[in-house]
Amino acid sequence: MHTESAAPATRSTVSETNRSRVLHYLYTHGISSRASIAQALGLSAAAITKITARLIDAGIIHEVGGIEGRKNRRSIGLELDPRQFHFIGVKFARSLVEIGVFNLKGETSSLTDLPPVQNDTIPDTICSIHKTINTLLDNDSSIVAIGMAVPGPYLRHEGRTAVVSSMQGWRTFNFLDEFSDAFRVPVFVEQDARAGVLAQYLLDPTSSTCRNLAYYLLGEGIGLGVIDDGRLVNGAQGGAAEIGHVSIDVNGLPCDCGNRGCLERYCSAVAIHRRLSETGIVADSDTMTHKQACHALFEQAAQGDRAAQHLVHEIGRYVGYGCVTIFNTFNPERIVLGDIVAEGGQPLLDAVHEVVDERVIPELNKATTICLSRLPADAAVIGAAAVAVTQFLEHPSRFFAIT
């Protein structure tokens, strides 16, 4: 997986690339011998010996007892212990901020939901984030990096989000200025759907071998993260694949981005909550958060409520219209639906397939899998941690002195 554009090769970049390849191999395959790594990566035994010696000296990998090697000979194994290094993930989702601590394999050691955010409480939320992260860092010396997932379109070189529908207070907030140098470990910020696709790629075995993967984020906003031929799609400013602001009705509902009929206005958790308030399908939905209201809708649908089932089907068809755009724009092997609205489950997925079967070129439809995320319910914040894990695996010299 490559997250950055290609640069002219130098001895140092080649060395870093090979270190990264070794780490990725150990991350994926577990304890391995030097001979098996050399064979798999097409490098000489001498080169692997040199690379792994430096990784051992830096404390990133370590030797373990003898393992069965080639021709039934015993070999010294090498391990990248997933429990040795921890990562903080911070997920920003308009009114929701989650902070978790995870190991290299995405296993959770703690997860905290901050109080719901409103435009006028953003400064208080930022203070709480600083306090929570500093406490976590003080209590866990194995934390080596922080990943943050923020709503798109995220202008990666400026450090801010261009549009945050229904929560414009975030639009003037600069994540890089606020967090880049705030803690003892490095901080990496990424658009939330791109963080999600990294999590799918790293942590879901069914997606890890997929070189053309799309993660369709269905949360308080609608986003898309794409890995195309093994590379993360960013765009010139970081605004690529902003499917939430693709119009599905040129005369439709106005959006904060200036467009009309944006997909986000019809199937995001915010839009669903608005529909529930208008229809009264879920009692007392006005007292709930967006996430709680969606969960209540899906529960009622599962229990047989016909009005709730009808609305879930309608939402699924809107999600399906987004899938049609994904098919025609990126032609991925797999589209993974995740976040709050994906909790609609199989009935939602059935409605998606209904639209796709009607509107997608048959050859593309046949060759593409659409599925619900297999990651746990806190996959959104795992995605934030996956941003930091990816940097750790691809650029180890940023974290350790490797001579």
Walk me through the domains of the chain, giving residue ranges and CATH numbers.
11-79 (1.10.10.10), 86-197+381-398 (3.30.420.40), 205-374 (3.30.420.40)
The whole-number pLDDT of residue 1 equals 63
The whole-number pLDDT of residue 183 equals 97
End-to-end CA distance of the chain: 24
The whole-number pLDDT of residue 5 equals 47
> Sheet of 74-79: strands edge to edge?
32-33, 74-79, 62-68
pLDDT one-digit tens code per residue, 23-41: 999 999 999 999 999 999 9
pLDDT one-digit tens code per residue, 288-339: 999 999 999 999 999 999 999 999 999 999 999 999 999 999 999 999 999 9
Q: List residues bridging with 90 in a β-sheet.
A: 99, 148
DSSP string, 344-402: GHHHHHHHHHHHHHHHS-HHHHHH-EEEE--S-TTHHHHHHHHHHHHHHHH-GGGTS--
**SS3 label, residue 181:** coil
Q: How many residues does the chain have?
A: 403
The pTM of the whole model exceeds 0.85: yes
pLDDT (average), residues 76-105: 93
Statement: residue 342 has pLDDT above 50:
yes
List the Cα angle 154/159/160 in 5-degree steps. Answer: 55
Band of pLDDT at residue 82, cut at 50, 70 and 90:
very high
Q: What is the DSSP letter of 284?
A: T
